[in-house]
Amino acid sequence: MTSPVLNDRRVLLGVSGGIAAYKVIELVRMLRTLGARVDVTMTGAAEQFVTATTFETLTRQPVRRDVFEQWTETDAGHVSLAENADILVIAPATANTIAKIAHGFADDMLTVSVLACPGPVLIAPAMDHHMYLNQATQANLETLRSRGIEILGPEEGELASGILGHGRLSPPEQILGKIRSILGRTGPLAGRKIVVSSGATREPIDPIRFITNRSSGRMGHAIAQALIDAGARTTLVSAPTDLDPPIDSHVVNVESAGDMHEAVASHIRDADALIMAAAVGDYAPTGVSQEKVKKTEQDLSIELTRTVDILATTQRPGLIKIGFAAETANLVEYARQKLTSKGVDLLVANDARLAMASDENQATFFRPGREPEELPLMSKADLARRIVEELSQILRAEHPEPEFPDATTT
């Protein structure tokens, strides 16, 4: 499974000498899986922790160590390596490497590549807690930020020395997410703000019980990631899930349908589009007990009241709306009704029994004035990209770029 934001993109990975070097092996694997070409340069100290052979096996490319190697008629060594990179990532970045970059040193392949790289640079520090908090390190990091270099982490937790503190390398998933965010900034939705909802709302019965549904939030979170890949400023209004939100999404955590309604209403004021992928509860208990409802010999009856229909009641001139129809029967009939009643520009209909808690989905697109388009079974990540592509087309049609007259004509 490839990703458009990473497929055929060139990632130059600089590995410096910290114990966390072994963690970036997984980062390389994930980048390759998503279609990126990865070139690796290592410091001499890094090879004390991970061998070059490991990275060469994963990347199918030679590891670059020496500034003077790989000079040919078509390949100008470190210059070509850095110029051809879509992004340079240094992980782990030790205090020594950070200091050298901050002060413009160029005494190995990694630091030379930083100076020669015209593209974005991402640094993921990893070091001892006291080294990270040292004034010199903090000043060096601030210098790098002032030059536009992005810094991710470090995390707080148990370090190799056994102490607890800041200095852990950010997880490979987060580094990957940041790479996607940086590379996606020039995408088709650059400059657009999109609100997407996700997860299953919870309607409380008492302090410890609630009514919910089987939605995992995977679809909504996948859409949020696809939006970031496309360059959108993404607000994720999320009911409880077990998922980590995409890096650089603005996350608004909610519980109930009422909470989600308020959050959506607040954040769509300056948004270009709303995608309601959350499984919002249709009913909520009329009254919520302040104490745990005790078990008795009698059956328990709970009176339910209708919750607000967020998608149908959210109206704002110029706002593009995309909704979902999760059905178990009569999908086409119900989807056509919802397409009209909810006033959406695109309705994504699917069989809830197959979609919920699954990594795959088989959906049908319903658009006003057009015949339904049935899509094949695909991963939710792939479906998310199809939805975002559709949104891009709708936005271009609704808000086309201004046309300027040809300067050569009179």
Q: Which residue has the tokens 């070409």?
A: 37
Cβ proximity of 77 and 70 under 8 Å = yes
Strand-pairing partners, residue 131, are none
User: Considering only CA atoms, which of 158, 115, 145, 143 is closest in space to residue 20?
Assistant: 158
For residue 353, how far is the Cα from the chain centroid?
Answer: 26
Helix axes 218-229, 172-183, angle to 10 degrees: 50
Q: Can you name the residues that pair with 168 across neighbouring β-strands?
A: 155
Among all residues, which ones are annotated catalytic? 213
Give CA torsion, residues 93, 95, 101, 107, to 10 deg.
-90
Cis peptide bond prior to 154, omega within 30° of 0: yes
Task: Tell me the C-alpha to C-alpha distance, in Å, between residue 195 and each of 2, 10, 92, 97, 246.
Answer: 25, 30, 33, 39, 14
